[in-house]
Structure 1
């Protein structure tokens, strides 16, 4: 029975009138904390490793860090707008008033907080400082309220900068005992450790800021040409380094790793735009795209050398954009003259403009009512500015190539970074009594053997179960492809791999040329009309869709939506290469087989009693939340996948919902509502997946539930335990009050910066390498696992944190389970870097985001046209349409 045929797990709860619904939330609730480590693993072959952690020593345990709040204002007391010079102002304070400050060094975060070792003379101190050559905040072109003569304009060009006075107020906020660092180095539990390590992180960031680096959270990037490389379309990758202090079983360490961020091409604005849009003449630029690409970037205006932030572009081209230029007559009376920006610069300022006349102007005005226009050829993008837009597929490929480093290269670059940082000479770090070692810390690891896979005859990767690919068709959206050869290769390769691929009902439905330039949704609609016309009442069970563009095809999203939501048809989209190799065909078959319900491979333990998860009914879930691009305000998408057909741990179903933008905690795991019939029901994600497990597993309720959660930081662990786990337990209680399955909650962190190396070896660590000693958390239950083989760059381990474990796994059994789940990803014939349920959750969220096209809407737009479940005080979120019942339980996300 499919899960959509049943309303809930039996036995159902009694129907209760809405006003008599029992309150599930307890009046008093104990706050859950991450569990302590119960033991260490011992399985596997021992291996000696180095890690990119460096020992931290400390000799000032009796002192205190003092925290102060900082307020910086202009001379007249008005608030400061340009935070870019905050550090310069504080350095000037320290330089000018060193005696008044008892020669204390500041550790300043660049905003509102500074720290000192020991106290300042007073709890409140006020200073005035003057910065020379401060960029003027006055406008650089005419506006409706300007009162300047031609002589004044020319004078300003000769004297672009001026001195400026600032007021600085420093107020005592708190003190942090340095004993916290001493305790951490000795491996002892301690309060205030997070605050103390934050001070050290601020010191390192300040060290990099003084060297002129771009700071991005805990990473820094030098303006160093060898480490700034083009990746296409006017975008460069800046290679830098990440630093952070970590508390480990062996004390405090400094973690240093390579890092990368995208920056825009510095120099003339028009050069960046030409490269970004891949055109050769400014006349061919799309100015709507240009406006989005330029917004909030900083430009230096030539020849004044002043810096401004771009707020937009003028509505008209430079020759036509008018403003009121204020002048004085001989009597000193002000009068306004309407002129164009082009005429003002060429006739009033006598500045030559070569091509700006036919281009919009750069607007750097702070207020919409007071635009400040500058001709585009007088604007240059300043260096080290982040590019936060989505990358194209070619840019991503180039980024991967330029960022890749073999283990010896990475170790050498980290050693060089530590030497160049010269932390031993930093006066603030010296004053704290902290010193940093120069050698990679040695750790012991273990290499777990790969789990046994059941794959056909065991000689080559073959599907264990292969459905027949029948009643299928091929559609081609204007791609240049030999479809007859592609179909014959799929049939031939399928026979060899154990998948029966019948001849397609229709070889190919080819897009009519007249629709190729139509909007994507129209192209999809016309394709379905064509199929319906020829197939009549017959509905294909599977469609192979050939696209012309890789990754960013405009047709992909509407096509997926049409099939998954409206028609319930399994579909596989491909962009076949010119040279059809067997490996490519095999990869396509793996996806098709998994989507149609087959198994490409399975662990030997899935049909045995080898593990606890196969001894008693066990439900395994993977959870992830996908957010919109930086700077957008589109809904976040929560995806949860759940295992089905126990004792298999290879098959999953997905449930996807929308929620408020940038919200990481999943809202709809449990959602108790009253339906149209007056019944109280749970419409949450977790109930839906539990139902599917129950009916697909012979009507068995899971006794154990294992949750793998992706995408959360250390600071959010308590929220996972006290918000998400609480919702899942409520969902179980709602199904049956006396049902108490045992939960285990594990966090997987892929984007972390610990790496492992084999001493005196050019190779990566072997697949299956696990580390749970020396550099792991001193008390909590965590471990690092390199399940996959790093073939090209340095292997990145996944950091697993066991937050909660009612099942009470031993360390070896839990590590073996995590390792095994890295091998059941149906799109791959080898291990993945993270467990398969998390890979599936990530894929489901990404695919549904593309299908729904949320990236094209702002949050306010979607809120006005959809209803959705939201948190208190938040605008409504557009609901995610339900998958068609024909594909709801399929692995459509493979």
Structure 2
């Protein structure tokens, strides 16, 4: 008999497993929830969500238009305009004060006196307009406020009770509550979408940057209640103080003369600094004692003493002479460069000060990655304490905005609830691979100096590889060729020459090329992968030289995990009894995943570290404004075997800033053909039963607001692909979300794993999930660093009518077959593979073509120029070599779990 408390908890789960009461007239985008899961042992947990009351009174929704509207003003400036409007221009109209989202929406708890047409225009003047000479007078902004709707919060009560569809009224009501809770911190602290940051906990990381602890907050509907999801986040800030100090810190120097062109400041270094500080605000003092805010546009090519400008009365004067003779303020460092602001005025560095709290919105420098991770990573208990401490900063009870709208938050009491822990699937591996490959006539090419990586190092590596191979059942011969090469040479020609030696000897190309890379060998790696995957179709395995020194057998056994699948083997499969939905012989099943990544994702493997803390839930971090011509890359990964352990992939280029996978129909058709071909030719299934009867389709992370669009277009494309091949398959369409802030915390010490996290297999499908739709959270991996992030699964379509238990166990099982890891990972393995294929799109371009994948070199936003750039990317995208199409060439190292903000640091920073 189990302990009494455990038995009671189990009974509670079972008793609540019946279908929730959702009204029949309620429309949903995804599948309606029909039941809760029951499998697994009970686990009490704490979740970083807090109950919030719904207002009782009408909320008034207004549209905001700010003139002149020749350009979009920064959110911070819009917020300041509305503050001045409410406090100084018309306090009688805006009492109690309204809340504003910084763009178009203003909400009030009372009806505003806006005239008979419910619309009124106000003139607002900012006292210290930026970059406007005092002689011109302050700039006047006209703000038109128009009432557009009245929101009855009753719609939220009905929605969370399952009696109301998720229509525009519900969406607007949720938006209003979010604007209400964010208004107070937005007015007081630096902010970024749904997070704001304070300097109460910060860290200087050098390079002119410091990290600030932040707090994320979002109102979300759940089953029977409204919640506020609160989490900690991290923000990268420019270091405040004298601008000279910031510039020196960027270069890691202390002598100001390095900022003087006359003392040898290279132009490339000046431009690097310019990219770093352009767009930030600086303050300067005027002769009459005022402080004016300026925006840095660029840096001058010459120092203040050598930089001249034309005078209105004729003639010219250097910047240095102007400040000495006209302003009466001789410069202490006249040789230093100046900043140029939007009006074209030039200001010496020494007169500028960087105010605190400016978010650095550019990519985090790769050399700062470890420091950033150390700051962002918190163990579960510590993270929960920080979240609870953050409630003092959020101060919901003290916020006049929250009080005015009649909202109250259960402060200090995060939700406690019952989760379940699923049993892991049984894997067929038994220390040996399920289907080991063979490695005849292979080559080793070394790009490390021979003095550093000598014959003894090579012999040790060969012994390690053969020992690791033997431990998992792979037969590997002695290498046919061992060759040292110069990494500064033509990598493709060098590898071709090695391949020719083997071909001349065996009349076959090499089965594998093991390439040893030096530190910082990213460019060589890209060339190797382009040669192997794209040009020649030869499996390649890159190793870091420093990891090979004195490496243990386990290291080489892990390398064999990748080599085996690259050569057509299968490492492990789930036992059929563990996941019957995948292995039912009467219902052959194909698993598909589509993924999507922007161009910039390829150039910086750590660019998502902080973006995800403030993202809207979308998987794609889009190119920066002005880079519309840079493409996005899409991938489709699909299983081809009956055990859903062997996968193939397609990759394509498409329009930037577009979430929908444009070529899904053709990509899915190719995947279905390969599935049928593999089952017919390799597994020897009869042609009439080779086609799939089930398709389980995972869509890698689109935002909730795009569910309908993705479902309408991509499900249709998938059905068309099936129809073109006369396949009549039942489709289950699931979105996997990773960019959210729900975290699980063990309530009892005895329930923690070694990292302090909830155990792998923790699943939640009630209390914090959607009021009416079929979704669940699954933390499928054991913790390594920080607080583990569960994946969020939303079932949008399900012809197969799977039960919650079936889909939860199926998804958990797929997290155990990631070819590169012997432990479960945080998302289903094929979802990982799709992400890898997208990240490797860079390898489809000739390394000599010098395509720029970053956002630092943006293209003209003109539509014609953008289209030309996109077509250039498409034209130069080289398809995968046919020899690699049937192999898992994409089996590369990824971190096996997504903890805190550790987001797949990608192959480019870990060249295994």
TM-score between the two structures when normalised by the length of structure 1: 0.82
Query: Within the alignment, does 1:448 sit opposite 2:422 as a pair?
Result: yes
8 Å CA contact 2:199, 2:213 repeated in 1: no
Cα distance between partner residues in 2 of 1:246 and 1:455: 43
8 Å CA contact 1:764, 1:794 repeated in 2: yes
The residue number in structure 1 matching 2:567 is 596
Residues 1:876 and 1:843: Cα distance change in structure 2 (over 3 Å):
closer
The residue number in structure 2 matching 1:235 is 209
Cα distance between partner residues in 1 of 2:139 and 2:310: 29
Matches for 1:24-35 after TM superposition, within 5 Å: 33-35=29-31
Matches for 1:373-522 after TM superposition, within 5 Å: 373-438=346-411, 439-456=413-430, 461-478=431-448, 480-481=452-453, 482-511=457-486, 516=488
1:348 Cα offset (Å) = 4.2
Deviation per residue, 1:265-293 (Å, 9 max, x gap) = 33344544444455664445612322322
Query: Within the alignment, does 1:662 sit opposite 2:637 as a pair?
Result: no
Residues 1:695 and 1:607: Cα distance change in structure 2 (over 3 Å):
farther
The residue number in structure 1 matching 2:808 is 815
The residue number in structure 1 matching 2:498 is 531
Matched pairs, number:
792
Cα distance between partner residues in 2 of 1:501 and 1:861: 53
Cα distance between partner residues in 2 of 1:661 and 1:297: 27
Cα distance between partner residues in 1 of 2:353 and 2:835: 39
Equivalent position SS for 1:855: coil
Equivalent position SS for 2:357: coil
Cα distance between partner residues in 2 of 1:318 and 1:572: 54
8 Å CA contact 1:72, 1:79 repeated in 2: no
The residue number in structure 2 matching 1:220 is 196
The residue number in structure 2 matching 1:709 is 699
8 Å CA contact 2:206, 2:252 repeated in 1: no
Cα distance between partner residues in 2 of 1:867 and 1:254: 42
1:400 Cα offset (Å) = 1.9
Q: Could you tell me which of 570, 575, 588 is aligned with 2:539? A: 570
The residue number in structure 2 matching 1:890 is 887
- Which deviates the most, 552-561 or 423-432? 552-561
Cα distance between partner residues in 2 of 1:866 and 1:84: 30
Equivalent position SS for 2:315: strand
Matches for 1:133-148 after TM superposition, within 5 Å: 134-138=128-132
The residue number in structure 2 matching 1:147 is none
The residue number in structure 2 matching 1:16 is none
Cα distance between partner residues in 2 of 1:573 and 1:276: 33
Cα distance between partner residues in 1 of 2:410 and 2:295: 41
Equivalent position SS for 1:546: strand
8 Å CA contact 2:464, 2:556 repeated in 1: yes
1:590 Cα offset (Å) = 1.4
Matches for 1:119-198 after TM superposition, within 5 Å: 119-122=111-114, 123-132=118-127, 134-138=128-132, 166-184=141-159, 186-190=161-165, 191=167, 192-198=169-175
Deviation per residue, 1:310-353 (Å, 9 max, x gap) = 22233445444432122xxxxxxxx2213333443455445444
1:381 Cα offset (Å) = 3.5
Q: Could you tell me which of 758, 766, 773 is aligned with 1:773? A: 766
8 Å CA contact 1:868, 1:879 repeated in 2: no
Cα distance between partner residues in 2 of 1:526 and 1:740: 48
The residue number in structure 1 matching 2:231 is 257
The residue number in structure 2 matching 1:674 is none
1:608 Cα offset (Å) = 9.0
Cα distance between partner residues in 2 of 1:312 and 1:231: 24
Residues 1:891 and 1:78: Cα distance change in structure 2 (over 3 Å):
closer
Query: Within the alignment, does 1:339 sit opposite 2:310 as a pair?
Result: no
Deviation per residue, 1:663-683 (Å, 9 max, x gap) = 11100112xxxxxxxxxxxxx
Cα distance between partner residues in 1 of 2:502 and 2:761: 50
The residue number in structure 2 matching 1:18 is none
8 Å CA contact 2:528, 2:540 repeated in 1: no
Residues 1:869 and 1:264: Cα distance change in structure 2 (over 3 Å):
closer
Cα distance between partner residues in 2 of 1:626 and 1:695: 29
1:428 Cα offset (Å) = 2.1
Cα distance between partner residues in 2 of 1:756 and 1:608: 25
Cα distance between partner residues in 2 of 1:443 and 1:749: 22
8 Å CA contact 1:265, 1:381 repeated in 2: yes
Q: Could you tell me which of 734, 739, 746 is aligned with 1:746? A: 734
Equivalent position SS for 1:485: helix
1:718 Cα offset (Å) = 0.5
Query: Within the alignment, does 1:720 sit opposite 2:710 as a pair?
Result: yes
Cα distance between partner residues in 1 of 2:592 and 2:859: 29
Cα distance between partner residues in 1 of 2:73 and 2:805: 56
Cα distance between partner residues in 2 of 1:505 and 1:82: 63
Cα distance between partner residues in 2 of 1:464 and 1:530: 35
Residues 1:883 and 1:622: Cα distance change in structure 2 (over 3 Å):
same
Query: Within the alignment, does 1:855 sit opposite 2:837 as a pair?
Result: no
1:262 Cα offset (Å) = 2.5
The residue number in structure 1 matching 2:220 is 246
Residues 1:350 and 1:637: Cα distance change in structure 2 (over 3 Å):
same
1:83 Cα offset (Å) = 5.1
- Which deviates the most, 565-574 or 774-783? 565-574
Cα distance between partner residues in 2 of 1:663 and 1:273: 37
8 Å CA contact 2:58, 2:109 repeated in 1: yes
Cα distance between partner residues in 2 of 1:338 and 1:849: 50
The residue number in structure 2 matching 1:680 is none
1:530 Cα offset (Å) = 5.3
Cα distance between partner residues in 2 of 1:284 and 1:297: 22
Deviation per residue, 1:343-378 (Å, 9 max, x gap) = 43455445444556254x322125xxxx33223343
8 Å CA contact 2:55, 2:153 repeated in 1: no
8 Å CA contact 1:58, 1:182 repeated in 2: yes
1:579 Cα offset (Å) = 4.5
Q: How big is the alpha-carbon RMSD for the aligned residues of Structure 1 and Structure 2? A: 3.2
Residues 1:54 and 1:610: Cα distance change in structure 2 (over 3 Å):
closer
Structure 2 unpaired stretches of 5+: 1-26, 601-622, 681-686, 846-850, 892-912
1:219 Cα offset (Å) = 1.1
The residue number in structure 1 matching 2:33 is 37
1:610 Cα offset (Å) = 7.0
The residue number in structure 1 matching 2:17 is none
Equivalent position SS for 2:97: coil
Equivalent position SS for 2:853: helix
Cα distance between partner residues in 2 of 1:829 and 1:206: 47
Equivalent position SS for 1:58: coil
The residue number in structure 1 matching 2:528 is 559
Q: Could you tell me which of 804, 820, 823 is aligned with 1:827? A: 820
Equivalent position SS for 1:693: helix
Cα distance between partner residues in 1 of 2:322 and 2:843: 47
1:776 Cα offset (Å) = 0.9
